[in-house]
Amino acid sequence: MKHLLALTAFFCIGYSPVFAQESPTLLTLEEALGQTLKSNFDIQLAANDLKISEANVYRGNAGMLPNLALVATTNDNFTNTTQTQSDGSTRELDNSKNNSMNYGAALNWTLFDGFKMFAKYDELKQTQLQSEKQLQIKILEKVNEVYTVYYDLVQQQKLFTALDTAVVISQQRLDIAENRYQIGKASKLEVLNAKVDLNTDITTLTKQKEYYYNAKVRLNRAISRDAFDLNFIVESNVGINRDLQLVDLLLQLDAQNPDLQLAIINAAIAQLQYKQLRADRYPSLQLNSGYTFSESESSLGFVSKSSGRGWNYGFSARLNLFDGQRQSQREKIARFDIENAQILVERQRQFIETELMMAFQTYSTNLELVNLEGKNEEIAKQNLEITMDKFEIGTITTMEFRTAQLNYVNAVVRNNNAQYQAKLSEVILKVLVGKLDI
């Protein structure tokens, strides 16, 4: 198996089927995830939405704080005025000028509104949590995509190595067949069969180059990386977590699954909106206050000029007695919204539990297949080594050699695919419980 060892060393020191001139760099999964979190546009948009929700959570936005404003009004008019005095005399003036001006500070503060402001403030905080879960969902979606594409590239890279190994073995077989033909121990047919099989393996390897190349392009797109930066390789170790337990995963659903948490938050928002509607049945009380400056001038009258300044304050109250039953109708609809929100929570919980149970069964099956295919690959490798030794001394036919060779390649392919599927099923389980390692 010296050819296999030489090939492995050759690949590890930097061979890339994407026609790279320089030694490729290693792109780790952590680096790919970091690039995604930094540059992905969907994550950036969701993060900005969260910042908007955070900025909206303040008491003034819920109506708890007073409004203070500077106010000023002025009025000028010119009129033809006729005044009849108490003694019967008359005073007239054309284009008499009258003006007034008021300015100062005005304060308006809602002291009580049936606790609506408190429910509104709680709704703002729930909206912030809603944005947090939406960001978490978006991150999980993109990270899941990166995991899937990255491990697909790992699989394609391993498959390329396996197929390249097949080419090396077929070349060795052809060399042996030609040597045996030269000394009269093999027929021309044996040499031709070896050439056909070698060309078949080269064709398969060439096609695999295309799959490997496209897998790199897909990974660059998934992590928002330069599409032409293809001179890299990925880690070969998948690292499957074999310790996941269904009971533990089910316990984590309510607390960690972002989709279920989002449904619970929506139900809480529906409750708070109902409280705000109910607040309209209570009286509202407002404080009105201010400090005012006033000045006025009149061309005709007992007082030609006046001014004043001072505090003013007062209270206003309002209680709705009848509004055509619109209040009752709005509350009725809000109660249906609450009921629908609770139904959606239960539906989401049932859906996720079902998906989790099926995904765990797939995960368990894939772990068994990983164990089985790993053993099969080791057996196929030993069988190929023995077959190569026998073929070199001419004790087996070329058909038997080719069968052993294909069995080894197929065993490697099945083992790689089993590891890939097992890793994907592990990732799906972690996504469902909202606990994907980033």
If you search the block for the tokens 């533990």, which residue do you land on?
248
Distance separating alpha carbons of residues 49 and 41, to the nearest angstrom: 12
235/394: higher pLDDT:
235
Distance separating alpha carbons of residues 436 and 432, to the nearest angstrom: 9
- In this structure, what token pair is assigned to residue 83? 């005044």
For 208, phi then psi, to 5°, come to -65, -30
pLDDT digits (tens, 9 = 90+) for 426-435: 999 999 998 8
Q: What is the pLDDT of residue 362?
A: 96
Distance separating alpha carbons of residues 146 and 129, to the nearest angstrom: 25
What would the mean pLDDT of 412-417 be, rounded to a whole number? 92
DSSP conformation class of 23? P
In this predicted structure, the answer to whether residue 408 has a pLDDT above a threshold of 60 is: yes
What would the mean pLDDT of 332-343 be, rounded to a whole number? 96
**Cα 149 off chain centre by:** 16
What would the mean pLDDT of 115-134 be, rounded to a whole number? 95
pLDDT digits (tens, 9 = 90+) for 77-89: 766 666 666 666 7
In this predicted structure, the answer to whether residue 37 has a pLDDT above a threshold of 60 is: yes
Q: What is the pLDDT of residue 20?
A: 45
% pLDDT > 70, the chain: 89
Instruction: For residue 71, list its beta bridge partners.
Output: 104
Q: What is the pLDDT of residue 184?
A: 81
Distance separating alpha carbons of residues 403 and 135, to the nearest angstrom: 52
Distance separating alpha carbons of residues 136 and 265, to the nearest angstrom: 14
With H, G, I as helix, E, B as strand and everything else as coil, classify residue 105.
Answer: strand
177 near 191, Cβ under 8 Å? Answer: yes
pLDDT digits (tens, 9 = 90+) for 143-189: 999 999 999 999 999 999 989 989 999 998 899 888 888 888 778 88
Q: Give alpha helix (H) positions in 183-283.
A: 188-222, 246-256, 258-278
Note the residue count of the chain.
438
217 near 209, Cβ under 8 Å? Answer: no
Q: What is the pLDDT of residue 399?
A: 86
State the DSSP H helix or E strand holding residue 80, giving kind and residue range, or none if neither.
strand 67-84
Beta strands in 243-350 (DSSP E): 284-298, 305-318
Q: What is the pLDDT of residue 397?
A: 82
Q: What is the pLDDT of residue 94?
A: 66
pTM of the predicted model, to two decimals? 0.78
Band (pLDDT 50/70/90 cuts) for residue 10 is very low
If you search the block for the tokens 């009380």, which residue do you land on?
285
In this predicted structure, the answer to whether residue 196 has a pLDDT above a threshold of 90 is: yes
In this predicted structure, the answer to whether residue 368 has a pLDDT above a threshold of 90 is: yes
Beta strands in 323-375 (DSSP E): none
With H, G, I as helix, E, B as strand and everything else as coil, classify residue 73.
Answer: strand
In this predicted structure, the answer to whether residue 117 has a pLDDT above a threshold of 90 is: yes
Band (pLDDT 50/70/90 cuts) for residue 224 is confident
Q: What is the pLDDT of residue 93?
A: 61
**Cα 421 off chain centre by:** 22
Band (pLDDT 50/70/90 cuts) for residue 13 is very low
What would the mean pLDDT of 94-123 be, rounded to a whole number? 88
255/334: higher pLDDT:
334
